[in-house]
A and B are shown apart, each in its own frame.
Chain A
Amino acid sequence: DQQVKQNSPSLSVQEGRISILNCDYTNSMFDYFLWYKKYPAEGPTFLISISSIKDKNEDGRFTVFLNKSAKHLSLHIVPSQPGDSAVYFCAARVNFGNEKLTFGTGTRLTIIP
């Protein structure tokens, strides 16, 4: 049972526009959410996170929004740049003190120059 779902395998966005990547989850015990970015032949790198006590977190061009009632989070990238082309994974953690993360299947973002 996929507890963290990224229903869009791919997304193409024009350079300079907004990229919106979506993630849905089913486990109401998730209390911390993260986004990772992965380039080919490299390991994933941490991008941004959000605690379940917040509904928004910003870091430069990246903003993550959390809608707990809908069990939905999204990553906004504004403005999109060619270097943002990568695979993006969302991940979630159950309960305070739990070291494990559950990852989604990823969305491949392509920024069109």
Chain B
Amino acid sequence: NAGVTQTPKFQVLKTGQSMTLQCAQDMNHNSMYWYRQDPGMGLRLIYYSASEGTTDKGEVPNGYNVSRLNKREFSLRLESAAPSQTSVYFCASSAAPAGSYEQYFGPGTRLTVT
């Protein structure tokens, strides 16, 4: 049971480049989330998806797009990367709203934009 997996683990981009962060979960969870973690800022929600086919903005959505491809997969896209998007990105999933609200996190993607 892999839980939540994320690819890639590390990425370096130049300003203006684009990339997609991939996330998959094998727990049959309804909800999936993308967070970024910056020093002294905790975990801030970028986007979330409460079910397949639906997505909603979180606290810091600007500069990002998401796709809930199916129940298992939720991707995060940076169309034109900026140095302010240098961060560690975490994907998470939960059984909410039909089940438990605990969120299970992937190992993270460390992104540097130069």
In residues 73-109 of chain B, which contact A (Cβ within 8 Å)? 90, 92, 94, 96-97, 101-108
Assuming the contacts A42-B108, A44-B90, A99-B96, asked whether A93 and B101 have C-beta atoms less than 8 A apart, the reply is yes
A41–B106 alpha-carbon span in the complex (Å): 11
Interface residues on chain B, number (Cβ under 8 Å): 26
Determine whether the beta carbon of B94 is less than 8 Å from that of A103.
no
Q: Which residues of A contact B (CB under 8 A)?
A: 4, 6, 9, 32, 34, 36, 41-46, 49, 89, 91, 93, 97-106
A-B contact pairs, 22 of them (CB 8 A): A9-B40, A36-B105, A43-B4, A43-B105, A43-B106, A43-B108, A44-B43, A46-B102, A46-B104, A89-B43, A99-B48, A99-B50, A99-B94, A99-B97, A100-B45, A100-B48, A100-B58, A101-B101, A103-B42, A103-B43, A105-B40, A105-B41
